[in-house]
Structure 1
């Protein structure tokens, strides 16, 4: 037992002491290993030095301690008895006084007693490996201190063979929530202390494998790969499928199939030394910066990527293999081809999956000092030489651990850490250690240390300039490729504008794609709130639901944003020419031809498929296009709207999806929709307190609709308000227009309706109103004109803005109420929600749902669930047709109730279903962190006229 009683190591800027040098990670070998995961004894102290070190001694009685599961975070266990999570985006939740941290520093003592298996080898040594501990750990085995370490998401190993006993081994780990290392880990995520990755005991036989580096390049001009495995311990490398059997360090060149994200060919091999055999999975590929482009195997790549934090709603960052596999499979099934591991190296098993299934990876170092922006980056550790050893240690532990993964094509120095000498030192070390990959760092706008010009949330117009090389900057930067390492902020309803970005990426060679922020909402499962976010645990500082900005919900259900992104980045473009009876197919893959896909056509009349069949498409090479003749449109007596739909499907089962999985699709019209016609043959009849017109009854005094065909209807009236989305509201630091706040300031959430007149004419009932916010002079002159042919009822709404409308409208349409409505059927866009700049994935067809099924369950409730391009909808016994097509939403609570809710559980269904029939919606954009909607998606306050036809469902 050490006599050390100080806690200076917690605030020491060094990476720690006692750990072995970093080396390559591998999942298994023929050497014995023992998992120490499971139930550990646990004691929590409120301060850094509240308890002594005696718990690490053999014979210590921890019988009255609590228990926690390792891997795990203690704040997510114990039903709140062990503290709570803290969420901040960039603010440090402790005083910025580097390298010091508060004395009030939650400290968890972990204790595990274990026996070695009876057949544990007596010879050789052993290594104890920690794959991830947040944020600082001090370790003892059998009373002997092994050392301490920082670098939460990086592996640390200790030599322990000389300390092991057959039985009763006492492993003690003291974990501090805050340390000097916390200043380097200010990532946008929950602060979650604990031993959250695997703890493993590894037997190291005499002559076992040490560190090794698999170099597997590919020459696209010859089709040959060159393999060389450098190893600290001499041995042999065999790859049976390639007939390879060579000594370590010896290169060999053979014909191979290359590895790419589209064609992830891996060769099984073995590295054998005198004491150990390690399985290898080898992918041959070459990454270069050439002609100002990122090229793999001789071809430029376009990243269709996403940023991925590790997250599970119950376990936090303690992910199991199947959860990681679920992430990769979902990504592949939604056409993603790349992942940036924001903002730290992931569990290494995730990279195994990226190798296996095929994803390009930007592997990012466990480094972010974002909180120093609050003091204009003063005292930033990355520009302080005292911290450079810690930075280099983090870079080395990432590179050495992950260097044998073919999926990794970039090393990233970290995220939002400003600039400084420490980052330059990291880049220089990485370039020297691994010149076969490229280096990324977004904060280096002058590209002094990086091989790519990277930005986050650049607006569309700036990206366009960058594509044309009209953006200025240093000469080096202008010669480099460009990626958006973060764009399309997927917070709440959105992101919008993805199709517009993708158009730019595909237009300019220099633009090599980007990575959506981010993969998953970090909601914490909560018994009362459903999912909790920042502030729900009483944090002093927090950033609310800014942690809920993913393409999938916490339970990994795809959001509409992911469905939209899949369509936007689909690797096959399908464009129709109705007049010519052809479809143009373009292969947008970087490497794969179309031989793995089957194509089918279908013809719809009024949204119903009347005929379908296979479509013969050649196995186009990447970038190639072909015009393919469609069959003659099927004869059909109906004269309704006609369209073609062409789909690209998997021809056979693959590792990531089953046969017939839809990869891409396209639609185009053959015959336009006939608009509904309602001759005004019926006349309004005024009674004592009612006016009847065809199947409808109106209030004689107000002109308000009361019923249609005996179905009670809460009268339609003009509605311009929507519960602002996170993207409507924008972010606090933005200086550009945040329309959600402007709408509220103007008073659009509390519009008042003034009745001007009710006129029962010869062929129409006309109701004139003015709709305006209190305290403002602007308004909307609104006229409702009702006509009928005796069975159907037509409403024509005319809107004329009055005054100076300096802001667009959230929506423009009518809202009405229905009772007893549940089942919904419609002909229009679906099956999911869509808005003006998120409608690429909206497929026109006949769809069915329930009212509850129309809702999108964003963690912070907001405007959601609109269906686009609706021709007609049936619900509550009514059929509603539009002239022109319209946006449709229906929910069991009002917009005002939706606006007031902060969690899903705040929404209580009422007896009325509130229906919005909208002529227009304002775009969504990405302004919760990026740009708002492009001007072409603004819903301007200008004269408008639109109609709806109501009838009872027959």
Structure 2
């Protein structure tokens, strides 16, 4: 949503970094980071039957269409040179080349890969970038909708992978997104037409969002995660949050869930919503059905709760999973849509300065993992992920910090399946601005951009058993925005600790003391203290 600019005429800051005036460019405005962008939700797609949903293979859903492949492409080295009207249907792109999606420009012959530890590759003057060195890619891709999507709501989903981007459908501007490592989803129903449709994107390597993505890594451009369409009925399963907890004795499961049902239509009707949990043998261990009638244009939250007798527990050593199945049916008992998610019964606690999983102390032997491949850049496929997990298991590594941003959804499914503890980190680092009062985390006009990054992290990954900690980010000072982020995450999800490296041992907004690069001497000193919190190097 495009936010109203703050009026700062009566407020004077001591540093030039603090001065913010209205700009004409969305990509140089910290209060504009999402236009017409859907709220992030748990990674799940609609299926036409319960059998399809249980298998949870996107390709089998009649309501899914991948847009991955070769797209028409034009690269320019500054935003001002983007071809005029390239998003229009009658624009002639016959002379353009092609670019793989997912794909990085620099690994396909365009631009120069830039490695930076901390810094931005242009003069530091937030929220501004260097317009004379502002690589930009123009994309065009045609697609046809399946005939069985007539009358359904259609959404365009980017799994992530672009610093900032405008989106058009059939020459009409749909919206704008920032945040390279979180999903961007747009409702595009009203822009579509029968037959052939045109998707166009203007992708920026740099924007004001770059100031929040100053990670120690290769800086690359392009759409480097998957893109797809999906469709839903007028009434749909919008989102869900499952809580597969354990009782105080760690024996029986204590389960609850909230399922949000959205009616985007103009009428309402009685429906039923069933939530069930089954083991790998297909036996139900929990099932409840609720009757509902969601008013037109509204969203209702439906709650479920109960116990599961002695479920197999999830840990990194015993990654036992169950299938959560949610089915929405009409008044004639016909499936409107079904969806599923793998869940694990486990309890994460901090007691006496120790992290306990299912009541047992855990010694974390972890690594930091960037999303990178020497052959394809930031495009990482399942084979690379599985090889990493194999190496972790061989080397007795049981934990991974997703440094320093959310990885693609498949990674979390694999960590659930094979058993890896995850510290799931928000895509937030402003290292190059320093750690003092001049860091943008202290400025009100940057607060919502910070909040957006923790909200989208938690809402996407909240149902994964492997995620045991949330991380607010990395090396980004500890301004007021981070205290607000911590408070939101703790209120939204009471089942997981939240950590933040920059809080050190000093501030309240971390549940874990997670120093970076501590000396041996400092660790010896800390080991003699009663810190009151777990100490885990990050």
> Under a length normalisation based on structure 2, what TM-score does the superposition of the two structures give?
0.84
SS at structure 2 position matched to 1:23: coil
2:318 corresponds to: 263
- Contact kept in structure 1, 2:437 and 2:479, CA below 8 Å: no
- Contact kept in structure 2, 1:134 and 1:192, CA below 8 Å: no
CA distance in 2, matches of 1:318, 1:28: 26
SS at structure 2 position matched to 1:483: coil
CA distance in 1, matches of 2:399, 2:510: 19
Task: Report how far residue 273 of structure 1 moved.
Answer: 1.7
SS at structure 1 position matched to 2:186: strand
After TM superposition, list the pairs within 5 Å mapping 1:99-118 onto structure 2.
99-104=127-132, 105-117=134-146
Pair 1:120–1:313, CA change in 2 (3 A): farther
Structure 2 unaligned blocks of 5 or more: 1-22, 49-60, 262-271, 290-301, 330-335
- Contact kept in structure 2, 1:447 and 1:453, CA below 8 Å: no
More strand by share: 1
Task: Report how far residue 7 of structure 1 moved.
Answer: 5.9
CA distance in 1, matches of 2:453, 2:418: 27
CA distance in 2, matches of 1:38, 1:7: 34
1:833 corresponds to: none
Deviates more, 1:334-343 or 1:49-58: 49-58
1:324 corresponds to: 385
CA distance in 1, matches of 2:186, 2:356: 39
SS at structure 1 position matched to 2:304: coil
1:254 corresponds to: 308
- Contact kept in structure 2, 1:29 and 1:279, CA below 8 Å: no
Structure 2 residue 420 is the aligned partner of structure 1 residue 334? no
1:66 corresponds to: 97
CA distance in 1, matches of 2:118, 2:532: 32
> Under a length normalisation based on structure 1, what TM-score does the superposition of the two structures give?
0.48
SS at structure 2 position matched to 1:55: coil
CA distance in 1, matches of 2:24, 2:122: 18
Structure 2 residue 159 is the aligned partner of structure 1 residue 131? yes
After TM superposition, list the pairs within 5 Å mapping 1:176-325 onto structure 2.
176-219=204-247, 221=249, 223-233=251-261, 235-240=273-278, 241-247=283-289, 248-255=302-309, 256-274=311-329, 275-325=336-386
CA distance in 2, matches of 1:417, 1:51: 32
2:534 corresponds to: 481
Which of 80, 86, 94 is the matching residue for 1:55?
A: 86
After TM superposition, list the pairs within 5 Å mapping 1:734-813 onto structure 2.
none
Pair 1:359–1:393, CA change in 2 (3 A): same
CA distance in 1, matches of 2:143, 2:169: 11
Pair 1:359–1:378, CA change in 2 (3 A): same
SS at structure 1 position matched to 2:86: helix
Aligned length: 467
CA distance in 1, matches of 2:241, 2:402: 21
1:633-678 C-alpha deviation (Å, 9 max, x unpaired) = xxxxxxxxxxxxxxxxxxxxxxxxxxxxxxxxxxxxxxxxxxxxxx
CA distance in 1, matches of 2:370, 2:44: 22
1:865 corresponds to: none
CA distance in 2, matches of 1:450, 1:249: 30
CA distance in 2, matches of 1:391, 1:74: 27
CA distance in 2, matches of 1:322, 1:165: 38
1:367 corresponds to: 428
Query: Which has the higher Rg, Structure 1 or Structure 2?
Result: 1
Deviates more, 1:162-171 or 1:410-419: 162-171
1:70-104 C-alpha deviation (Å, 9 max, x unpaired) = 001111102xxx11100010122110000000112
Task: Report how far residue 280 of structure 1 moved.
Answer: 2.0
- Contact kept in structure 1, 2:152 and 2:231, CA below 8 Å: yes
CA distance in 2, matches of 1:17, 1:23: 17
- Contact kept in structure 1, 2:46 and 2:337, CA below 8 Å: no
SS at structure 2 position matched to 1:272: strand
Larger relative contact order (C-alpha < 8 A, sep ≥ 6)?
2
CA distance in 2, matches of 1:155, 1:222: 35
SS at structure 2 position matched to 1:110: strand
CA distance in 1, matches of 2:108, 2:250: 56
Task: Report how far residue 167 of structure 1 moved.
Answer: 2.3
2:7 corresponds to: none
CA distance in 1, matches of 2:47, 2:349: 32
